[in-house]
Chain A
Amino acid sequence: MGMTMTQKIMARHAGLDHVEAGQHILADLDLVMGNDITTPVAIGAFREMEAAKVFDPEKVAMVLDHFTPNKDIKAATQCKMIREFAKEMGITHYYDGGDVGIEHVILPEKGLVKAGDMVIGADSHTCTYGALGAFSTGVGSTDMAVGMATGKAWFRVPEAILFTLTGKPGKWINGKDLILYIIGKIGVDGARYLSMEFAGEGVAALSMDDRFTVANMAIEAGGKNGIFPVDDLTKEYLMDHAGEIGVVEEADADAAYKEQYEIDLSTLEPMVAFPHLPENTKPASEAGDIVLDQVVIGSCTNGRISDLRQAAEILKGQKAAKDVRLLIIPGSQEVYKQAIAEGLIDVFIDSRAIVGPPTCGPCLGGHMGILAKGERALSTTNRNFVGRMGHPESEVYLCSPAVAAASAIAGHIVHPDTVVK
């Protein structure tokens, strides 16, 4: 029996010629990542193990992005603890202050992940780097600690679901619409413990930013990872950012898949996920009268430059409705600078948006955009669980930057065509 793309990466990192679904392996890691919420717990576990040093200071990344700029004294104390640990261990890829950005935006940007790499991160959206043809998955803090100390992690080799993409996406369609469509179809546990492998000629029609968005939300279907084949676009991205491509793996022709879906990208519509699960999807055109208090554009899911361009195209010359607070958060300093260079930030400010510093901030109800009881937000983030953005009786709806921008203008959820003049 052949292997899936994920299984091939796993086998190579476990020093094996072949792995089977269900097998437990101990794999060598190319990168171990943590953020300001998960790293303090990992440091505790690292100390408990009495490990003297990290396995390789070049292969550990720490990104202080969730509660930063420090939102309160407790958060500041946690960041200080990480800062001291990073100094003690000589961590090279330590991102804080002006070097910071949202972890899953900056790690690819800084070229820390290559094709065929094996990456764990103490953040569930670590699956983002599957867009680069790497195996990457979210783990907890203890796994991060053991990864930092030993350079290894245990895995159960997953089966896979194959998504074969055809066609080209229409106007306004973002990777977000594809992944929301998939989650709506298979459910929030539809890919539980499974790889989500993407293939087909439709892949070429997705930008790298779209692929990051799709892989990012594999976890919202319960997936272990989401992974894209490495094509010319991936290679160009990797050469530009990492200076090398890495190891290009391909699924064997006779690889087994637990399930298979074919999706024609030309049939996708702008989607919205209703509270309180990402699987509660419907086309934006069928949303009904959902009046909004806040709109958020940003996050590890949709905080990249093409996301901001999509939002600006709609917001240019228009204004967010009077009763809507529009927050736009570039995912990194690079994205921020590029947005300034292209005039996007002027467009946003002129459209009544508040432009914030790169941070996870409101996505997880951390800070910089918390909802009061009874308030409703439309957001390009990834989760709409109860209380996710603030009060347990607030609501979050998920969508693409185009739907978010258009809805901010309308004051309620709309299809982008409704407001484009």
Chain B
Amino acid sequence: MNRSQLHSEQEALVIQSEVIKYGDNVDTDVIIPARYLNSSDPSDLAAHCMEDLDADFGQKVKDRKIISAGKNFGCGSSREHAPIAIKAAGVRCIVAESFARIFYRNAINIGLPILECAEAAQALRDGAEVEVDLSGGIIRNLTSGEVYKTHPFPSFLRDIIESGGLTRYAKERML
């Protein structure tokens, strides 16, 4: 898989799926261990995504497309390979209590939808059926019936997201 194939998948604005749940401080070394960083091919990275944290991730992600996690998701290294691995593995959206700042930038920059919502992230259990409306920032727990609303992205970031990532934004507006 090359980079443009990773980007070309059209993002649906509403995503419905069961949740894969993780805890606090999921670091980029467990998202994609450095021993696999001798490749930057998204499908190579996806094949080893999360393997040091959850050996069953590869199985789970076949039909569960939303990750929910605790605080500081994506802390550690700046490797963009981490959000690339998650996206290429088939994850469509991450809902966390909070994100580490470099991971947050990287996810926005490559067009991986992420939502910061402490209430939803704390309430969502592993396997819960969830609907995420990305345009409205609304998270519906279809299992419990609860509904959560996130803060909207600031307009500057919304422009990057709507362009389909930072490279497209930069190509259109900065070059």
Contacts and interface: CB of A to CB of B under 8 A. Distances in A.
A72 B34 CA distance: 13
B156 A140 contact: no
A188 interface: yes
A222 interface: yes
Contact of B154 (A24, A48, A51, A141): A24
Interface stretch (B94-102, B118-126, B127-135): B94-102
A105 interface: no
B25 to A, nearest CB: 6
A72 B170 contact: no
B68 interface: no
Interface stretch (A39-47, A238-246, A330-338, A409-417): A39-47
A145 B168 CA distance: 12
Interface string A137-172: 011111101100110101010000000000000000
Contacts of B30: 385-387
B106 interface: yes
Interface in B130-175: 154, 156-157, 160, 165-167, 170-171, 174-175
Contacts of B18: none
B101 A37 contact: no
A189 B160 CA distance: 26
Contacts of B170: 49, 146, 149-150
Interface in B46-77: 52-53, 71-72, 75-77
A75 B38 CA distance: 5
A44 B77 contact: no
Given A140-B106, A189-B72, A392-B52, A41 B25 contact: no
A74 B38 contact: yes
Contact of B105 (A139, A150, A189): A139
A285 interface: no
Contact of B29 (A66, A126, A222, A388): A388
B110 A222 contact: no
Given A51-B175, A386-B53, A142 B167 contact: yes
Contacts of B83: 140
B52 A124 contact: no
B37 to A, nearest CB: 5
A226 B71 CA distance: 21
A365 B76 CA distance: 14
A364 B40 CA distance: 17
Contact of B3 (A45, A123, A392): A45
A237 interface: no
B33 A188 contact: no
A306 interface: no
Contact of A49 (B75, B160, B167): B167
Contacts of A37: 34, 37, 79, 81
A387 B52 contact: yes
B52 A141 contact: no
A224 B167 contact: no
A81 to B, nearest CB: 9
Nearest to A152: B174
A72 B33 contact: no
B84 interface: yes
6 contacts: A41-B80, A75-B38, A138-B102, A222-B75, A277-B25, A383-B77
Top 5 closest pairs, chain A to chain B, by CB: A140-B106, A140-B80, A74-B38, A142-B109, A189-B72
Given A149-B175, A189-B75, 20 more contacts: A37-B34, A37-B37, A38-B78, A49-B170, A50-B171, A50-B175, A122-B80, A140-B109, A142-B80, A142-B109, A142-B110, A146-B167, A150-B174, A154-B156, A156-B154, A188-B72, A189-B25, A192-B100, A364-B77, A392-B52
